[in-house]
Chain A
């Protein structure tokens, strides 16, 4: 049974020729002619993901991968088409983003965790585990603004990894940390898939896609040009890069 169903999904962004973001700019250019360009990021995308499946998404920069993930995570709204997600979804979209620098790691975990739909009870019982996974137990009471980029990224992964209910959506997986942390992520990740969780990964690291995914999508210019087993998709992708 499909846990995610995407039908005829379209998404465009308007890129104004002159960006006006303030009242002052609107005021002083009230009579200026402005145009905008409509950038169609996703054009008529349809696919399904079955429960327990791991799907990789590859494509060049600007092919719409990240936008697609954000729509799946219900953070962006589609312009047209339907996206049905039949289970709770946990996104890790931007690394290092998502913190209040004035708060300690512990408070940030509680804040982000509850935003993702975990209860305080669940989080408090798992707090130690989240910090341990990120190798940050010693820094639990340090404000996030004093964290290095690597530390905050590890924390982001740790929270999301620990809070997956049913579907995990990841952008640029395993891009942080040292070899040991990566190995831990991969182990945790295998646990999740073994437990029947559904995972969608966007990645530039083709080895990851090849090793972990049951299936892959190749995106180009907002279209799905190939929806097949990872090996074939990677071949097509490399060919596309070579031809370009």
Chain B
């Protein structure tokens, strides 16, 4: 018989096992599988760069595209997986009464790992070609990434419980993501759009994260205090909205599986 302690093990072991098995199922248990998965965004980057660098003849286009595209990938991948997390892991929900949010939060681990690899790549490319970014720039960039992760988690918490209620939410979100790719200034510089539209584009959470990251890393400018407040507000609103939905629907989520 297994030697058991009297108290249940801390959640840590469960969290780790979830992340590890997610990685394994996704990449067939091998680091080579993970490297293989990085090809898709890199190929996309090469294609977009070769096409659009003729259109936007700017020295910094390459860096801006790199930041925009790889940060976008985290958002689209993270929200897509997060939205379906409770549904996909439904078999665990019916097995034991652990806090359900664990499933949602850990679901973005793979996307986060991919983004980490790309973030390191971005910083290396920038350092080699334009000199090492200042510590302040790097610190702010990391802060934006943390807020970005909070946004994705907030969205996923809300969307994952709604998906159990509305089973075509993933298709709807897919369409929104397709539109969102063009709403966010990923392949084009924001400056080509009229100034009065900018404030609306900043409401799409991806926009401020990408724009601010470019400003600190590429342009070497600090976004204003007001701009930072806006990003915090967007993050807080997204997270609280998602969390509120989660709190409301999660306790009975299992009944909809």
On whether A98 and B97 interact (CB within 8 A), knowing A22-B168, A122-B5, the answer reads no
Docked-complex contact A75 and B254, CB < 8 angstroms: yes
Does A176 count as interface, using CB distance less than 8 angstroms?
no
Rounded to whole Å, the gap between the CB of A193 and the closest CB of chain B is 14
Chain B 176-191 interface 0/1 with A at a Cβ cutoff of 8 Å (1 = within) = 0000000000000000
Number of residues of chain B lying within 8 A (CB) of chain A: 37
The verdict on B120 contacting chain A, using a C-beta distance below 8 Å, is no
Instruction: Say yes or no: is A172 at the interface (Cβ < 8 Å to chain B).
Output: no
Contacts of A165 in B (CB 8 A): 4, 6, 8
Which residue of chain B is the closest to A112 with respect to CB atoms?
A: B95
B1-29 interface code vs A (CB 8 A; 1 in, 0 out): 11111111110011011101100110000
Contacts of A75 in B (CB 8 A): 93-94, 96-97, 254
Residues of A close to B91: CB separation below 8 A: 97-100
The answer on a CB contact under 8 Å between A98 and B2 is: no
Q: A192 to B16, alpha carbons, bound, how many Å?
A: 30
In the bound complex, CA of A169 to CA of B81 (Å): 32
Report if B166 contacts A (CB, 8 A).
yes
Do the beta carbons of A22 and B97 come within 8 Å of each other? no
Instruction: Across the interface, name the chain A residue whose C-beta is closest to B25.
Output: A102
User: Residue-by-residue, is A213-228 near B (CB-CB < 8 Å gives 1, otherwise 0)?
Assistant: 0000000000000000
Across the interface, do B94 and A110 meet the contact criterion of CB distance under 8 Å?
A: no
Chain B residues positioned under 8 Å from A112 (CB to CB):
92, 95-96
The distance from the CB of A117 to the nearest CB of chain B, in whole angstroms, is 3
The 8 closest A-B pairs by CB, nearest first: A117-B8, A126-B2, A119-B9, A74-B97, A114-B14, A22-B168, A102-B25, A120-B13
Spell out B's residues near A (CB within 8 Å): 1-10, 13-14, 16-18, 20-21, 24-25, 91-98, 165-169, 172, 251-252, 254-255
- Given contact pairs A100-B21, A126-B1, A191-B1, a sample of 14 additional A-B residue pairs in the complex whose CB atoms are under 8 Å apart: A74-B97, A75-B94, A88-B7, A93-B95, A98-B92, A98-B94, A110-B17, A112-B95, A114-B17, A118-B8, A120-B13, A120-B17, A122-B2, A125-B3
